[in-house]
Amino acid sequence: MAERVGIVGVGLMGQAFSHQLLQSGFKVQGYDLDERRLAQLHERGGTPVESPAAAARGVRWLITSLPGSEVVREVILGANGVAEAAARGLIVADTSTSRPEDSAKLGAELAKRGIRFLDACVSGTSAMAWKKDLIVIAGGTVEDFEAAKPLFAGFSRAAYRMGAAGSGAMAKLIINLILFGNRLALAEGLVLGMKAGMEGESLLQVLQDAACSSKTMIDKGPKMLSGDYTPEGLVRISLKDARLTLEQGTRLGAPMLVTSLWAQLQQAAYQQGLAELDSSAFIELLREMAGLPKRTRRNSKRGNG
């Protein structure tokens, strides 16, 4: 008999998670505030439900894929929340990019209720999620991590335990920090090439095969060249994540040079009306600074999911 999984939040990432789980033989029951997302879940073979509590009813595992830790807390502990219907021993896997200390606190509170918690952040874009090309970076007990492995195998290619609750969220912020630098360097290099009159496709092909190659060049390079910013991750979410990372740097006394610059660029992109486009849209700011023509092909269509 197929195992049933609950999910709260079926947006860009949540739709891909639910699709992969359904393809892996799980039954999926999900909740989202957006009725359109629930209709898409139904079309793919999932079961839409009316509340976070309903998503948690009768399941062994529940995924949250939400904007941040404040929303996660409300969805789990608020009215009609997950905790109201959770069976003892339920494992909540929070895939949101959350504040590490919030994850640690929530995990401790849920443990007192007999609910197990993992801050199970994922690394990869929504486009990568549709290809099952994600990794899970989790924080929590060894026992809970081992018990969640069948779930993680349903929507990711690998899962890693980083330590106690909160450590998965911290590792995700560090991954994002390094991605910020990769994307900024790529955009700066492409704009320099554009100013020099180089053929963009040839330049990107060389970059992808050179010592500087990275996944960013494969995932974001074509978007930066074409100006097609169909979202795989939004400017406003990237700005939120950058601010979370800066907060951790301040708390721990660590230098945040790249993150500070990235946050300013994403803030500027947000203010220029690019909030709902892919985070790579910030290259338009660099093009403008370089005196290159404005591009009107700023695709705001939603991507997969």
Entry pTM: 0.91
User: Which residue do the tokens 């591009």 mark?
Assistant: 295
β-pairing, 91-94 vs 158-163, is unpaired
Summarize pLDDT for 5-61 with one digit per residue, the tens.
999 999 999 999 999 999 999 999 999 999 999 999 999 999 999 999 999 999 999
The whole-number pLDDT of residue 296 equals: 60
- Pairing state between β 47-48 and 27-31: parallel
Give CA–CA dist 45/197, Å, rounded. Answer: 49
Contact predicate 97/244, CB 8 Å: yes
Q: Which residue type, as a one-letter code, is found at position 247?
A: E
Where are the strands (E) in 124-208, listed by range?
A: 135-139, 158-163
Q: State pLDDT tens for residues 268-290.
A: 999 999 999 999 999 999 999 99
CA atoms of 162 and 267, how far apart (whole Å): 30
Helices (H) and strands (E) in the chain, counts: 15, 8
**pLDDT at residue number 299:** 46
Cα 153 to its chain centre, rounded Å, is 17
